[in-house]
Amino acid sequence: MIYRSPDAIDRSVGSEVLVIRGGESEVHRLSGPVGLVWAALATPGDPAEIADRLAESAPDGVDVGAVVEDCIDVLDRFGLIARRR
Amino acid sequence: MNPAVPNGRPGPAALRVLAEVAIATAPGPGHSAVQEIDVSEVPDQRDLVNAAAQERLTGPLVRAVQTGLLRLDDDVVEKLVDVHVDAMAWCLRVESRLWAITGWLEDVDVRALVVKGPAVAHLDEIDPSLRAFADLDLLVQADDLPAVLGALARRGAVRPFAERRRGFDQRFAKSVTVTFPDRIEIDVHRTICDGVHAVRLPVERLHRSPDSFDLGGHEVLTPNRTVRTLHAAYHAVLGSPSPRLVSLRDIVGYLRSAEREGSVEKIATEAERWRGTAVLAQAVREVQAAGASLPEWTAWLERTTVDPEEDAVIAAQRRDGSSFRRSRITASRELPSVRDRVAYLAAAALPSTTHLRSRGRSRFGALRPGATTGERSVVLPDLPPPGGGVERVLVVLANPTPAGHRPAWMDLAATKTVHVVTRGEVESLRRILSETGVTATVTGTPRGRGLSGRLREVTVASGEVRRFTPDRVEVETGTTWLVCAALLTGRTRVVRRGAAGSSGPPSPRTRLDELLWRLVRSRNRPSSSEPGLH
């Protein structure tokens, strides 16, 4: 199960999202699919569930599952998400 | 990379359109009825973005474009989004600090309420991105003030101005400002306004039945909606001669909500308890004048009698702002005891030497009527809050032109640029200009108290700078503006050398030169062994 880091603070700016972790100073600007995955993570879920939520709005031919995995890796790298078994 | 927020003063047409946007997008019923806003009279749409950045209204402008309330050219929209992202990035940094502060204050067992910016954004807006803010305002009990300031100081916050007199903060001050090295500024409030109304306001009521919102898993407390509504009114009406659009928009949102929730009388009754009916009435009049339609508040205004003397109190407060002038004497009369009055007036008339020094002032200067103002010849328009792309604020001194006279210091290039990064420095600049009788136009200044830091750079066009570091500056004879800039920092030592490296005494050529070098000598006196000082 993946969920947003509990200390994350965010702002929607148009189609993008800005995120910062409480107590830190680095603001992350999430554009495109990463922003969509962040929005989908408003409700925690596993990668397959997140991909299902986004599949409907994805263009034809896109491997949504792979994109979601990549986005989760990026979010994870910056500590913006957490995983729970 | 995001572009820097534009600096120029927006034109009247842009401000008119922005005012319409502010009112139309304020929370509550009403904005859906607004038709498309005409921007044809704005000569350059980028001016509108400039105005929105300066008024902290990029969010409402974005919203207006998104909802079709306003049509802007594509390149202008692109620029608007960039500026808005900068503004929101700064807000997130401020909120990140708020998140940390909630933990620090738990450690010292203090409860603080956050007021204004983040509270409005999270609780009273349609979306938090509609409300930008520059700093953080915390409201604490007077007894907790030392603990809070101590907790902030331990994490690197610096207080630029010392306490006016011992005990003044806890008894009389509206707030104490501290600044972190990353320029985030915190106003720690004992109460929410200055002057007469600060004396009248029952401070304990500000803390009753607080609301809260979640911030990254931390519960953040804020005054209840009635208090927030009145605070918005007090801030707009008493905080400045004319309220900012963002403040008016806050009030419109609160007053609309009160109409929707049927709480007009509840708020008016609370205002009576604060003896601030006149303030609330003035706030309603201000938003009416800005074009907001508020039928229930209009009816309340019609059945409410405001004593003209109360309006005069407001006018005096607006004129004097937070400075210690005539309205403070009026305030002292309302203090409950003779002892309080004496202490208050003593602090007003005779601030401590430490306080004066921290403001770059002397006892003599403090006692001179009007010595701290200089508004006579200085125009100070606003700049936007420090967005992600704004590293410093420029203050450009247009070349003064005393009639029929060209003093030596004007031999430098026509325009000198000084980077000024604190309000104290701006105030020092105003004072120097005032004391020397120089007529100048300052075309930029930090907005509100949102910027802080130290002088980082001085630019003069004459090439006379020998060396400049944040701690030391060396100049050639006659480089008056560099000396002036160094003095403004309040921290920078000035070493004067002759043109050929000699250290002979200066030969003042103008009154300004004389004054500046007198100040330099005074500043450097403790270490007068420094070669080249006189």
Burial level of B401, CB count in 10 A (0-12/13-18/19+)? exposed
How far is C-alpha B144 from the chain's CA centre? 24
**Is B92 in Cβ contact with A18 (below 8 Å)?**
yes
* B140 CB neighbour count, 10 Å cutoff: 21
pLDDT digits (tens, 9 = 90+) for B308-348: 888 888 888 887 665 555 666 677 777 777 777 777 777 77
Alpha carbon distance B192, B239 (integer Å)? 10
Q: What pTM value is reported for the model?
A: 0.71
Helices (H) and strands (E) in chain A, counts: 3, 5
DSSP per-residue letters across B347-412: HHHS--HHHHHHTT--HHHHHSTTTTT-TTT----------TT----EEEEPPP--TT---GGGGS
Q: Which amino acid is at B74?
A: D
CA-nearest of B301, B292, B330 to B314 is: B330
Percent of chain B with pLDDT over 70: 62
Asked if pLDDT for residue B408 goes beyond 80, the answer is no
Of the listed ranges B52-61, B62-71, B286-295, B484-493, the least confidently predicted one is: B484-493
A32-53: per-residue pLDDT in tens? Answer: 888 899 999 999 999 999 999 8
pLDDT for position B74: 92
Residue range B259-274: mean pLDDT, rounded: 96
From the list B128, B182, B218, the residue facing A25 with the nearest CB is: B182
Q: Give the number of other CB atoms < 10 A from CB of residue B2.
A: 17
Q: Which residue of A has its CA nearest to B99?
A: A22
A6 Cα to chain B: minimum distance (Å):
6
More confidently predicted of B243 and B513: B243
Angle among Cα A74, A78, A81 to the nearest 5 degrees reads: 80
Interface test with B, best of A4, A27, A38 (most B CBs within 10 A): A27
Higher pLDDT, B441 or B216: B216
For the residues B472-484, what does the mean pLDDT come to? 43
Residue A3 has pLDDT above 60, yes or no: yes
**Tokens encoding B241:** 């001669």
- Between CA B50 and CA B356 the distance in angstroms is 36
Q: Do B96 and A20 touch (CB under 8 A)?
A: yes
CB pairs A-B closer than 8 Å: 64
Banded pLDDT at B170 (limits 50, 70, 90):
confident
Specify the pLDDT at position B323: 59
Q: Express each pLDDT in B212-227 by its tens digit.
A: 999 999 999 999 999 9
Among B453, B403, B404, smallest CA distance to B426 is for B453
Cα four-point dihedral sign B137, B143, B146, B150:
negative
Hey, how many other C-beta atoms are within 10 angstroms of the C-beta on B153?
Answer: 12
Identify which of A12, A13, A27 has the shortest CB distance to residue B93.
A27
Buried b / exposed e across A45-56, counting CB within 10 Å, b at 16+? bebeebbebbee
What whole-number distance in Å separates Cα of residue B455 and Cα of residue B314?
A: 36
Which of A11, A16, A17, A38 best probes binding to B when mutated, by most B CB atoms within 10 angstroms? A11
What is the pLDDT averaged over residues B437-462? 35
B129: chain A residues, CB-CB within 8 Å: 11-13
The model's confidence at residue B169, banded by pLDDT at 50, 70 and 90, is confident
Average pLDDT, chain B: 72
Provide the pLDDT for residue B479: 41
Does the pLDDT of residue B100 top 90, yes or no? Answer: yes
Match domain A2-83 to its CATH number in 3.40.50.20, 3.90.930.70, 3.40.640.10, 3.40.50.920. Answer: 3.90.930.70
Residues of B with CB under 8 A from a CB of A: 62, 66, 81, 84-85, 88-89, 91-93, 95-97, 99-100, 103, 127-129, 182, 215-218, 388
Q: By CA distance, what is A26's nearest residue in B? A: B93
Task: Specify the pLDDT at position B287.
Answer: 93
Q: What is the dihedral of CA B57, B58, B62, B68, to 10 degrees?
A: 40
User: Position B119: which residue type?
Assistant: A
Which whole-number Å values give the CA distances from A17 to A36, B38, B54, in the listed order? Answer: 9, 30, 23
pLDDT number for residue B249: 95
All domains of chain B in start order, with CATH: 12-320 (3.30.460.40), 376-496 (no CATH)
Q: With an 8 Å Cβ cutoff, are B62 and A21 in contact?
A: no
How far apart (Å, rounded) are the C-alpha atoms in residues B220 and B217?
9
Q: Answer whether residue B188 shows pLDDT above 70.
A: yes
| Type of residue numbered A71 | C
* Placement of tokens 């009055």 in the chain: B341
Chain B residues touching residue A7 (CB < 8 angstroms): 99, 216-217
For residue B468, give the 3-state DSSP assignment: strand
Q: What angle do CA B15, B21, B24 make, to 5 degrees?
A: 140
Kindly provide the residue ranges of all beta strands, DSSP E only, lying in B49-142, ordered along the sequence. 113-115, 136-139
